[in-house]
């Protein structure tokens, strides 16, 4: 089998036509993110990707479930942990890997690094200040509203961002003008090493906080991609017809350390037991269970893995061989024309 350069979409279309096609597209998208992240983890020790990386392994279902419910013209804002969101929204893999390598072919030409993945053609922007993207996501909703467009805006953020003042400011304003915004809280229980228990009172209820602002809110298993997709679809349909914002709290878990490519359970901030309980709920495994009885699935996984690996090898080879940006580009893009 030969990989068609820079295009995973034709293969993805093929997957969609298979029996259980929608589920298999979810699987393909999640597997692609997983394999990209694992490849980064594998060769990060070469020290050629000289920027911090926040891997999304374990959290693929939130990205894939949400983004599959969006159109290309919808916008999505993400955080420091943005690889999965970028890829799920349709970001170019070569541009992403090149950016991690600091190369001129990167999506920011080497000026952003892993925490600033961007592609305006698919409405995707990531910035790493916790909470900062939430009001920007709301503003995109305002812009759509002002121009009578039917696009929607998604703001991805973590549980820690809900502790920022700007989170409440954003809920309040989005509700005030019934803006087409979907707030996606990926609750992975930790802000770096700090667990929820040292940050929020046990009785704090995010759903009630959102509802108190007039934002419809639902809790959902963030490792169940189908549940995430269905919940998002509903919120998107509501937003698209002008019925206002929604918030989804998606419970999930990152498998790697906060920043970097190691496993860090030995540090003691989370238990092996907790880690294993989440490993048992691995989003890929959970989706595979839904496909038990599909005789061809295991064979298809193998084919998916092969084609994804070809794409990944191609992207890494491209990034590695690309040049660093020229010195002169340090002084470009200070101001837009």
Partner 1 sequence: MERIIKYSKALSEAIDLCMAKDDTVYIMGLGVPDPSGFFGTTIGLQEKYGKMRAMDMPTSENGMTGVAIGSALTGMRPIMAHHRMEFALLATEQIINQAANWHYMFGGKSSMPLVIRMFIGRGWGQGPQHAQSLQAMFAHIPGLKVVMPATPYDAKGLMISAIEDNNPVIFLEHRWLHNISGNVPEDIYRIPIGKANIARYGSNVTIVAFSYMVIEALFAAKVLEKLGIDAEVIDLRSIRPLDVNSILESVKKTGHLVVADQAWKTGGIAGEIIALTCEEAFGFLKAKPVRITLPDFPSPSSPGLTRYYHPRAINIINSVLKMLGKTEKTEEELDIVQKSPLDIPNKEFKGPF
CA 135 distance to own-chain centroid: 18
CA gap 321, 289 in Å, rounded: 40
Residue 38, burial from CB neighbour count under 10 angstroms (0-12, 13-18, 19+): middle
Whichever of 65 and 141 has its CB closer to partner 1, that residue is 141
> What are the two backbone dihedrals, phi and then psi, of residue 256, each rounded to the nearest 5 degrees?
-85, 180
Please say which residue, 86 or 253, places its beta carbon nearer to partner 1. 86
Minimum CB–partner distance for residue 55 and partner 1 (Å):
21
Closer to partner 1 at the Cβ: 65 or 137? 137
Q: Nearest distance from residue 89's CB to partner 1, in Å?
A: 14
Give the strand order in the sheet containing 153-158: 118-119, 124-126, 75-78, 153-158, 181-187, 246-251, 216-221
Closer Cβ to partner 1, 119 or 314, answer by number: 119
Task: List beta partners, residue 54.
Answer: 260
Contacts with partner 1 by CB under 8 A lie at 75, 77, 106-112, 116, 118-120, 123, 125, 127, 129, 132-144, 146-147, 149, 153, 165-166, 169-170, 172-173, 176, 332-337
CB closer to partner 1 out of 4 and 333: 333
Torsion angle, alpha carbons of 147, 149, 151, 153, to 10? 20
Question: According to DSSP H, which parts of the chain are helical?
Answer: 9-16, 21-43, 60-67, 83-89, 93-100, 133-146, 165-176, 206-212, 225-240, 272-279, 283-290, 297-321
Closest CA to 117 of 128, 132, 104, 103: 128
* Least distance between partner 1 and beta carbon 325 (Å): 9
- Minimum distance, C-beta of residue 215 to partner 1, in the bound complex (Å): 14
Give the angle 253-259-261 at the CA atoms, nearest 5°: 85
Beta carbons within 8 Å of 169's beta carbon, 6+ residues apart: 135
| Closest to partner 1 by CB, 109 or 283 | 109
For residue 138, give Cα distances in angstroms to 48, 53, 154, 165, 239: 37, 26, 8, 15, 12
Question: Which is nearer to partner 1, 106 or 244 (by Cβ)?
Answer: 106
Shorter beta-carbon distance to partner 1: residue 137 or 244: 137
């Amino acid at each position: 089998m030969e990989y068609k350069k820079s295009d995973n979409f034709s293969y993805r279309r093929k997957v969609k036509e298979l029996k259980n096609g929608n589920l298999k597209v979810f699987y393909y998208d999640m597997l692609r993110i997983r394999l990209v992240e694992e490849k980064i983890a594998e060769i990060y020790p070469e020290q050629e990707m000289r920027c911090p990386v926040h891997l999304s392994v374990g959290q693929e279902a939130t990205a894939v479930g949400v983004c599959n419910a969006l159109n290309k013209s919808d916008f999505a804002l993400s955080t420091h942990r943005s690889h999965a969101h970028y890829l799920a929204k349709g970001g170019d893999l070569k541009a992403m890997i090149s950016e991690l390598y600091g190369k001129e072919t990167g999506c920011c030409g080497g000026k952003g690094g892993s925490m600033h993945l961007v592609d305006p053609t698919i409405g995707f922007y990531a910035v790493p200040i916790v909470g900062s993207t939430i009001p920007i996501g709301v503003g995109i909703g305002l812009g759509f509203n002002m121009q009578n467009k039917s696009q929607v805006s998604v703001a991805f953020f973590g549980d820690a961002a809900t502790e920022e003042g700007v989170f409440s400011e954003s809920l309040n304003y989005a509700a005030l003008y019934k803006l087409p915004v979907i707030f996606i809280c990926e609750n992975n229980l930790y802000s770096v090493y700090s667990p929820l228990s040292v940050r929020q009172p046990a009785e704090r209820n995010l759903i009630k906080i959102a509802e108190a602002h007039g934002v419809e809110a639902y809790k959902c298993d963030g490792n169940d991609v189908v549940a995430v997709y269905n919940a998002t679809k509903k919120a998107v349909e509501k937003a698209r017809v002008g019925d206002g914002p929604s918030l989804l709290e998606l419970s999930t878990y990152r498998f790697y350390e906060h920043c970097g490519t190691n496993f860090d359970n030995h540090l003691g901030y989370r238990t092996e037991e907790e880690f294993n309980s989440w490993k048992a709920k691995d989003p890929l495994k959970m989706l595979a269970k839904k496909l038990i009885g599909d005789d061809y699935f295991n064979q298809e996984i193998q084919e998916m893995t092969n084609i994804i690996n070809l794409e990944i090898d191609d992207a890494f080879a491209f990034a590695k061989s690309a040049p660093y940006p020229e010195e002169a580009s340090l002084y470009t893009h200070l101001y837009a024309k």
